């Protein structure tokens, strides 16, 4: 008798985390899934090759990014429903975390299709693990709005939050971000600024906001940043 899976191929959407800078951080399971999936949904097919070539993976690739996410989600869910093994990756880290992914996962879940995570790097959790800030609870808020007024409002809204806050920030705005933070939360707030995690110029500063700003200003602010803010009464 034929097995059920031979009659009805069982599709799956693998949500695959990839390194945030150091290619050595790719997991053995991520490699296996990328080598065996029939379709890979990725933000940029050219940069995906930097990940795929060294591991000898060559799946069929389709584009899935913030500009086509809504329509592409349906098409990807159709492939999973037809029995394909589809993997989704983002440019770096965990898909759906300040990256495309949420819509296709929601669509697959709505249709009762199988979604399987392949965990790995996420900049927020990587920074928290090495920050020295309380990690028993945290609120991840990703990128704030680019305008200073919106940032200040967000800081005011969360300044009494009782767990660690985690933000992402770009190289262009990091100094303004920290200046606005200083204005709202004051010089003694304990923060961690984690730059270029897992990369050659990784730097992680934890301390009073005023001291961390002073250290940051003596260095290059090029690169990718995670900013963590400890609860109000926390001291090192
Ligand atoms: N999906 C990713 C994750 O799981 O962390 C996040 C993608 S988001 C588009 C990119 C932002 O994540 C960067 O602007 C930066 O704030 C943060 N980030 C990513 N890689 C980083 C790294 N190596 N060091 C510090 N921050 C990083």
The atom number, within ligand 1, closest to the CA of 198 reads: 23
Cα(12) to ligand 1 centroid in Å equals 26
Q: In this structure, are residues 192 and 134 in contact, taking their beta carbons and an 8 Å threshold? A: no
The atom number, within ligand 1, closest to the CA of 170 reads: 14
Cα(124) to ligand 1 centroid in Å equals 7
pLDDT tens-place values along the chain, 236 residues long: 445 545 566 899 999 999 999 999 999 999 999 999 999 999 999 999 999 999 999 999 999 998 999 899 999 999 999 999 999 999 999 999 999 999 999 999 999 999 999 999 999 999 999 999 999 999 999 999 999 999 999 999 999 999 999 999 999 999 999 999 999 999 999 999 999 999 999 999 999 999 999 999 888 889 999 999 999 999 99
Rounded Cα gap, residues 37 and 48, in angstroms: 14
| Alpha-carbon dihedral sign for residues 37, 43, 49, 52 | negative
CA distances from 34 to 56, 58, 203 (A): 9, 8, 31
Other beta carbons within 10 angstroms of residue 22's beta carbon come to 13
Cα(150) to ligand 1 centroid in Å equals 21
Pocket of ligand 1 (CB under 6 A): 20-21, 90, 92-94, 97-99, 122-124, 168-170, 194-199, 224-226
Cα(93) to ligand 1 centroid in Å equals 7
* 3-state secondary structure (DSSP) of residue 10: coil
* 3-state secondary structure (DSSP) of residue 86: strand
Rounded Cα gap, residues 120 and 87, in angstroms: 14
Instruction: Provide the token pair at 119.
Output: 């965990």
Residue whose CA is at the smallest distance from ligand 1 atom 13: 224
């Amino acid at each position: 008798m034929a097995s059920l899976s031979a009659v009805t191929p069982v599709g799956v959407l693998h949500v695959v985390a990839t390194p945030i800078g150091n290619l050595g951080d790719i997991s053995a399971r991520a490699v296996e899934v990328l080598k065996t999936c029939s379709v890979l949904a990725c933000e940029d097919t050219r940069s995906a090759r930097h990940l795929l070539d060294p591991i000898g993976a060559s799946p069929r690739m389709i584009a899935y990014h913030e500009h086509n996410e809504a329509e592409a989600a349906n098409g990807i869910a159709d492939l999973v429903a037809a029995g394909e093994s589809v993997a989704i990756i983002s440019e770096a880290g965990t898909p759906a975390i300040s990256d495309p992914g949420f819509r296709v996962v929601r669509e697959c879940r709505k249709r009762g299709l199988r979604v399987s995570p392949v965990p790995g790097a996420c900049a927020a959790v990587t920074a928290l693990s090495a920050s020295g800030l309380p990690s028993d609870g945290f609120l991840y808020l990703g990128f704030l709005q680019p305008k200073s007024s919106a940032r200040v409002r967000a800081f005011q809204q969360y300044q009494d939050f009782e767990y660690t806050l985690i933000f992402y920030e770009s190289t262009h705005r990091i100094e303004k971000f920290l200046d606005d933070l200083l204005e709202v939360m004051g010089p003694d707030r304990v923060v961690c600024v984690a730059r270029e995690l897992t990369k050659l110029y990784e730097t992680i500063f934890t301390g009073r906001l005023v001291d961390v700003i002073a250290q940051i200003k003596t260095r290059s602010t090029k690169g990718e940043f995670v900013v963590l803010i400890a609860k109000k009464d926390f001291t090192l």
